[in-house]
Structure 1
Amino acid sequence: MLRIAVPNKGSLSEPATQMLAEAGYRRRRDRELVLPDPDNDVEFFFLRPRDIAVYVGHGTVDVGITGRDLLLDSGTSAVEHRALGFARSTFRFAAPEGTVSSVQDLAGKRVATSYDVLVGDYLAERGIEASVVHLDGAVESSVQLGIADAVADVVETGSTLRAAGLEVFGEPILQSEAVLIRPASRPEDDAVAVLDRRIQGVLVARQYVLMDYDVPVEHVDRAVAVTPGLESPTVSPLHDGNWRAVRAMVRREDTHRTMDELYSVGARAIIVTSIHASRL
């Protein structure tokens, strides 16, 4: 039975649970810490997001869902298996306005963060000797309170940092998102491969739609050039031999632009359908 660690709270929890439900697994109904799913031969363990990489790295569970930031900060041997496309965030350095202009300027300074392993490794890789101060939260207050000269934290709009008199500098430390992780020593066996295919199917279903339309025979080639599909679109004859029916997968974000282009080349009866599951 495949043991899967899932975040039990925070911004990762609900999207991870929803993705697994869309992949055909049993949904957590109450606040169970352990949820068996015998129909799919898996067992879910709901754990603190920050602890999941530790459990996976030690082989206590087989795979898990956590943030890339938490994985890199864990210091374990767990590795990223697949990016999941949600809970995206950006990590940046920030300091009082006008005091620091580059990462190299952090040499000899104190940097407050909740991700001391991640930030420490980042600085060490660049040969920058700085003191990393670990805080569990609200790092933006650390400079004003005199325990740090700069901070490293998640930046969304930057409004919280600006309110504390801080400004970002340098390149992003990390672009993070939810990831599926596994132990570095574990090969991708059949159980992990099934889970991975199901998750990939969910990602494809979220990224693509099915587009059906009718088009005159003489315009089929132009229309198919607009909707080439993944391998090739399906083209079928209609009762009226002067028309063809076409079906193809189209990226969801391109739906309306594609419909406009199809209409301009003579396609009609253009219909878009959501995809609930897929296997490529």
Structure 2
Amino acid sequence: MADKVLKFGIPKGSLENQTLELMRKSGWRITADPRSYIPATDDATLSCRILRPQEMPRYIADGSLDAGITGSDWIVENNVTLQQVESFIYAKATLTPSRWVLYVRNDSPVKRLEDLQGKRIATELVQFVKRILSERKVAADVEFSWGATEAKVAEGITDAAIDVTETGSSIRANGLRIVEELMTSNPVLVANPAAWADAWKQAKIRQIGILLRGALDAENRVGIKMNVAKENLEKVIALLPSITAPTISHLYPSQALKGVEWLAVETVITEQTVRELFPKLIEAGAVGIVEFPLNKIIG
């Protein structure tokens, strides 16, 4: 079993804590020491490394890693071919995909990307931007930005920037205007094509993808169960949202039931519907309502 080890990349930075928490909910205990980039795991067949998402595609492509989680934008920037296994929206990290947008100062005459002819552009996605400019036959100076990109445009250091945003509020707050959206990005689970061709590694990567998806699908959802007299069942069922349909089972008959046929009802609902739903369920005849947390929803 010594050769049965998957080299797996975890993104450093804004997605690191969310990824480690998702891995925990998925069944893996990964302990990251702030002074080390090699986390400890409770799975002898999983060897993790923490790397910047910007670098992850390169190291997966050259086989240094078998698989990992990175942004789809950095795959485009590195211009590498990888096997995409799963695309995620991290519910607690971002409710919408990240957007790479072209922006300028409010007083700029630039109305479209083609107006950047001969201009100076700051961005982290240098290779992607150069390809876009070439495709649209625009000759402009593209320079790598180490940060504070909005300030460079606001202060007139560069004519424009192509930067990542979710809502655009920070851009607007700095007196800047979005001209065009060029790309959207989500966290993705990707694999080295050679690793994907290996049956054992592919099965391990699929396992990670399925359980991570299950953990994400369970976020902001809870399970509920209750008892309902058969005569009230239809009223209760009409109130219940469900992934497929509620599970219904008969209670064991006993003297305490006094000849009334009672049923147990169980389903999954979004957490924010609880406060509205529970009073209605009680009015409809449900009793003994129990709410319980979920770690994963599979399938």
User: TM (normalized to structure 2)?
Assistant: 0.79
- 2:22 corresponds to 1:19: yes
In the alignment, is the contact (CA less than 8 A) between 1:114 and 1:139 conserved in 2? no
Counterpart position of 2:231: 218
Please give the per-residue CA displacement for 1:139-186, whole angstroms capped at 9, x wherever unaligned.
22333555532111123454543454312233x333333221212453
Corresponding position of 1:111: 121
Q: Tell me the amino acid that sits aligned with residue 18 of structure 2.
A: P
Query: 2 CA distance for matches of 1:105 and 1:264?
Result: 63
Is the CA contact (8 Å cut-off) linking 2:29 and 2:42 kept in structure 1?
A: no
Residue 246 of structure 1 is matched in structure 2 by: 265
Tell me if 1:178 matches 2:187. yes
Structure 2: distance between partners of 1:192 and 1:96: 45
Deviations 1:92-118 (A, max 9, x none): 221111433344444554322111233
Partner of 2:138: 129
Which residue of the partner structure matches residue 281 of structure 2? 262
**Does residue 44 in structure 1 map to residue 63 in structure 2?**
no
Kindly indicate whether the alpha-carbon contact (under 8 Å) linking 1:2 and 1:43 is maintained by their aligned counterparts in 2. yes
Q: Determine if contact 2:105/2:154 at 8 Å carries over to the other structure.
A: no
Task: Report if the CA contact (8 A) 1:223-1:267 is conserved.
Answer: yes
Distance 1:204 1:19 in 2: 11
Q: Secondary structure at the match of 1:64?
A: strand
Larger radius of gyration: 2
Q: Which residue of 1 aligns with 2:13?
A: 10
Aligned partners of 2:224 and 2:290 also within 8 Å: yes
Q: CA deviation at 1:202?
A: 1.4
Unmatched tracts of structure 2, length 5 or more = none
Partner Cα distance (2:229, 2:192) in 1:
54
Please give the alpha-carbon distance, in whole angstroms, between the structure 2 residues aligned to 1:217 and 1:128. Answer: 71
In structure 2, the residue matched to 1:28 is 31
Offset of 1:208 from its aligned partner?
2.6
1:94 is aligned to: 103
The one-letter code matched in structure 2 to 1:237 is: H
Post-superposition offset of 1:231: 3.5
- Counterpart in the other structure of 1:208: 221
Q: Distance in 2 between matches of 1:130 and 1:215?
A: 71
Alpha-carbon distance in 2 for matches of 1:274, 1:122: 46
Distance 1:76 1:243 in 2: 59
Task: Give the Cα–Cα distance (whole angstroms) in 2 for the partners of residues 124 and 260 of structure 1.
Answer: 61
In structure 2, what is the Cα distance between the partners aligned to 1:36 and 1:265? 51
CA distance in 2, matches of 1:275, 1:161: 37
Letter in 1 for 2:160: A
Matched with 1:196 is: 209
SS at match of 1:72: helix
RMSD: 2.8
Asked whether the equivalents of residues 36 and 42 of structure 1 are also in contact (C-alpha less than 8 Å), the reply is no
Q: Which residue of 1 aligns with 2:293?
A: 274
Query: In the alignment, residue 91 of structure 1 is paired with which amino acid?
Result: W
Q: CA deviation at 1:52?
A: 0.9
Report how far residue 78 of structure 1 moved.
2.4
CA distance 1:202–1:159, change in 2 (3 Å): closer
In structure 2, give the amino acid aligned to 1:224.
I
Residue 152 of structure 2 corresponds to 142
Q: Quick check: 1:113–1:152 contact (8 Å CA) kept in 2?
A: yes
- TM-score by length of structure 1 reads 0.84
| Contact 2:85 2:206 (C-alpha < 8 Å) held by counterparts | no
